[in-house]
Chains A and B, each alone.
Chain A
Amino acid sequence: MSETVPAPAPGPTGVIHDIGYRHYDGPRLGRGSALAALIVHSLRGVFGLGRTARAKIMPFLLAGVMMLPAVVSIAVMAMIKRPGLSYPSYAVTMQAVLAVFLAAQSPYLVAPDLRFRVLPLYLSRPVKTGDYVAAKLAAMAIALFLLVAVPLTTLYVGELLIDLPGPPHTHDYFAALATSVVYAVLLASVGVALASFTPRRGLGVASVIAIYLLSSAISAVLVGVLFSVSRDSAAAWAWLINPFFLVDAVQVWLFGTSPNNDGGYPPGAGGPVAAVAVLAVVALCVTALVLRYRKAASS
């Protein structure tokens, strides 16, 4: 860059010099800052910030839809003085929107780097393969957390301002906030892992949405069939096939909230089993991702 250099007194002043190539002797930060830069870059990408207007439509539309129940609930609370949608049921109620967001945006995080072969450039920088995977997972998890936490917080602020009779549902709010972290981590690992196996965005979107539809359909059919033959305890287990009810069962176990399905989850072992299942799925997906990228790095 050309610079205005104040010349010594006898010469002309304020001359613009092209001073040629300059070496950089400033600070060089470590892996941590590169990781942070990649998380921020990916998070912006998920919401289409710094991209074309078309890339912003889907994420902001879905984020808007996620806000609707909060806004409506606040209006209900203000006008008829009755509580709106409960905090622990927010994510389960909006599961289709979250699933669509996950399907639409997780391929955006990983597919272009594979398709346009940007990955070798990342790997020639001072970061490890694991850092890349961690950054992409973190970006998706933060995006999903924001998607749930922002409406929840809006709703809570609304509740405090309207000041309904009785104490505010502070415990429920924090329970839901903590659970949304679990949702974010589970959904992000599944979505990013599935999306990373194809460089084609369309295929990524289709595979994520297919897994959600399959699991929720299998779960619903099994629950229906088992209920009809009066195997109620087996039906309670069948709910857990749907990832959203799986996390809800963890929420019920950890925070004692009321279940958001019909008939509740298996008593006793249900909660711990659900928690272990969540951890197992996350571990499986992260392992798959690390193996996937280790292979991509050496090819």
Chain B
Amino acid sequence: MTTKTAPPDTSLTTQIYRVFIRATPQAIWDAITKPEWTERFGYRVRDEYDLRPGGKYRAYANEGMLSMGMPEVTVDGEVIESDPPSKLVVTWRMAMNPKLAAEGFTRLTYEIEEGRGGVSRLSVIHDLTGTPGHAAMVAGDKQGPGEGGGWTWILSDLKTLLESGQAMSNSQGW
């Protein structure tokens, strides 16, 4: 492949992840915003939202995490916009890691659109401007192959959970 000189690379500012899920927008909305669902996929943490502008958002460590000495609040933030079941915008920060917490808040948007044949489209738009540590983490950069981590893994797991009733093997998570 012939290439010309590449421009200098700057840090990623926005990351976008999209997945098609055979589920209603409401089912996807519930899976993202209700603790009894958030405990069943991805990092298996309890997410609690006060779904109104300015409302609190917190993710609470599960027992496995607590036993490893992690703090109770893993992620913190605030609800900016809540329009069920199609759009949720929150600020989002890794509170459990002092170095990441010092970077400040990122901005996370979930968009859920109903498609044809009972399939919905979930897009995660994560604005990570000025937060390189968060950017590396949510991209799964810190994980070895097959270890999972980051949005790609979380969304794959969410899809599996909603379509099959059961998430992927927990061996890759906590």
Q: Tell me, yes or no, whether A binds B.
A: no
Interface residues of A, Cβ cutoff 8 Å to B: none
